[in-house]
């Protein structure tokens, strides 16, 4: 199933792979600001002679076309960094940009896909189909996948595959189970309006702080008392802004949070229930409520045949012990946008190593990866494409 020449190519280019990742890590760019990263990817593809086109405002769609009209498999890597201050500045590849860093591994994804492209291009004459390379912007904004899909990223694609470096898994382990992998992620915004006034005269007021506090303290019952416990859901309130001054009863309160679900019916129920609950709480106190429920990314659901292929490729390429059973996460991924256009799967590649201090949570200022995982990720990209096209 695997191609030995691909394996040798990626192994032989391991030092270059590390160097690519370190360069990208030191020069992070935020969502839809990846102009230098886009230029870097284009320059590398130019060296390989792989045709591409830029997407707007950032991003790249490239293609290794071996058989016009043949099957096409797409490989996706995201490129954007986060507005996070790097705390570990002792490493030689530390971020050079204040307040920005690759705290989620997207620098690794881009580097792995570039080296995978190099290996696949070397066996282009043996490929029975075509490989689409998607260098996606703005995953952290949950907008990049939709943007490049709208610009033709999935036109003519038969199958799509993506990878995420995962610090919660041991280095070089590969996880990809059929079914839900990443949760749907939505944003809720609730605005309560009461009647402000002097702090010493509460009888003349409707205290928005009380209304908002009651909502925050009790809205969890939407999950704990109205959702089947076997249908996972998370409702988190992350922000509350109330009042203007210590001796003024608040007239307005604004609350923001997120909802994470795996099943569409659970998602629909929570959206409806939050609105009903906010309006009911407001009515008890004589206030009013305005609810905005913003649907973000959909659930990433690994198609069974594709996920099984990932496991088969991983076992043959790295040994059966490399296949890891990682439970689904309530984290979100806009890879779901590709799966509305073609079947596919999304794999996790472990990079957690306590000896190298790479078990920090994603999005933390100390986040880093065990660079030994880069070769595993690059080969998994390339070998999956080879295996799919040779099915």
**Tens of pLDDT, residues 211-223:** 999 999 999 999 9
- What is 103-139 written as a DSSP string? -SSHHHHHHHHHHHHHHHHHTGGG-SSEEEEEEE--T
Phi/psi zone of residue 377: left (φ > 0), alpha (ψ -120 to 50 degrees), beta? alpha
Q: What is the pLDDT of residues 35-55, one digit of tens each?
A: 999 999 999 999 999 999 999
What pLDDT is stored for residue 239 in this prediction?
Answer: 97
**From 27, 34, 80, 359, the catalytic residue:** 80
CATH superfamily entry for domain 4-181+299-389: Zn peptidases (3.40.630.10)
Q: Helix (H, G, I), strand (E, B), or coil: what is residue 151?
A: coil
Mean pLDDT of the chain: 97
80 is catalytic: yes
Could you give the CA distance from residue 391 to residue 383 in angstroms, rounded to a whole number? Answer: 12
Question: Exactly one of 29, 107, 139, 359 is catalytic; which is it?
Answer: 139
Q: What is the pLDDT of residues 20-31, one digit of tens each?
A: 999 999 999 999
Residue 101 clears pLDDT 90, i.e. is over it: yes
Reported as a pLDDT band with limits 50, 70 and 90, residue 354 is very high
pLDDT at 1: 82
Residue 140 assigned ligand-binding role = yes
| pLDDT for res 67 | 83
- Return the residue matching tokens 């030092």: 15
Cα angle 166, 158, 66 (rounded to 5 degrees) comes to 100
pTM over the 0.75 mark: yes
The model's confidence at residue 150, banded by pLDDT at 50, 70 and 90, is very high
pLDDT at residue 199 is higher than 90: yes
139 in active site: yes
What span, in angstroms and rounded, lies between the C-alpha atoms of 174 and 350? 6
Contacts of 269 (CB under 8 A, 6+ apart): 226, 227
- pLDDT tens across 42-90, in order? 999 999 999 999 999 999 999 999 888 899 999 999 999 999 999 999 9
Percent of the chain with pLDDT over 90: 98
Is 364 marked as binding a ligand? no
Whether residue 42 is annotated as binding a ligand: the answer is no
> Is 104 marked as binding a ligand?
yes
Q: Does domain 184-294 have CATH number 3.30.70.360?
A: yes
Q: Please state the rounded mean pLDDT for residues 294-300.
A: 96
Q: Is 198 annotated as a binding residue?
A: no
Alpha-carbon distance of 331 to 34, in angstroms, equals 23
**What pLDDT does residue 68 have?**
84
For residue 57, say if its preceding peptide bond is cis, omega within 30 degrees of 0.
Answer: yes
Query: How far is it, in rounded angstroms, from Cα 102 to Cα 368?
Result: 8
Strand partners, 242: 253
Instruction: Tell me the pLDDT tens digit for each residue of 248-268.
Output: 999 999 999 999 999 999 999
For the chain, the domains span 4-181+299-389, 184-294
């Amino acid at each position: 199933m695997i191609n030995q020449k691909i394996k040798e190519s990626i192994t032989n280019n391991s030092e270059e792979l590390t160097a690519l990742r370190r360069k990208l890590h030191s020069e992070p760019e935020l969502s839809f600001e990846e102009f230098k990263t886009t230029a870097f990817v284009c320059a590398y593809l130019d060296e390989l002679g792989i045709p591409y086109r830029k997407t707007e405002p950032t991003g790249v769609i490239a293609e290794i076309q071996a058989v016009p009209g043949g099957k096409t498999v797409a490989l996706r890597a995201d490129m954007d960094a986060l507005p996070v201050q790097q705390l570990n500045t002792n490493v030689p590849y530390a971020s050079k940009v204040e307040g920005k860093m690759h705290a989620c591994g997207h620098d690794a994804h881009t580097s792995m896909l570039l080296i995978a492209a190099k290996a696949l291009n070397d066996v282009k004459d043996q490929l029975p189909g075509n490989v689409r390379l998607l260098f996606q912007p703005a995953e952290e904004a949950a907008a990049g996948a939709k943007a490049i899909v709208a610009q033709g990223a999935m036109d003519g694609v038969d199958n799509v595959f993506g990878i995420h470096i995962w610090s919660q898994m041991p280095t070089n382990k590969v996880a990809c189970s059929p079914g839900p992998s990443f949760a749907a992620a939505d944003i809720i915004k609730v605005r309560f309006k009461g009647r402000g006034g002097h702090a010493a005269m509460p009888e003349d007021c409707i205290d928005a702080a009380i209304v908002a506090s009651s909502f925050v303290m009790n809205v969890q019952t939407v999950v704990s008392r109205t959702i089947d416990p076997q249908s996972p859901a998370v409702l988190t309130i992350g922000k509350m802004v109330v009042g203007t001054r210590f001796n003024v009863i608040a007239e307005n309160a604004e609350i923001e949070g997120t909802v994470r679900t795996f099943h569409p019916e659970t998602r629909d129920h929570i959206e409806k229930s939050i609105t009903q609950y906010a309006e009911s709480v407001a009515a008890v106190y004589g206030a009013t409520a305005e609810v905005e429920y913003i649907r973000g990314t959909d659930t990433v659901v690994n198609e069974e045949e594709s996920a099984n292929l990932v496991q088969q490729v991983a076992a043959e390429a790295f040994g059966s012990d490399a296949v890891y059973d990682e439970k689904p996460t309530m984290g979100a991924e806009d890879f779901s946008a590709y799966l509305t256009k073609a079947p596919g799967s999304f794999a996790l590649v472990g990079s957690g190593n306590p000896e190298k201090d790479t078990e920090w949570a994603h999005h933390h200022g100390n986040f880093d990866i065990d660079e030994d995982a880069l070769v595993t990720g690059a080969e998994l990209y390339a070998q999956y494409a080879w295996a799919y096209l040779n099915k």
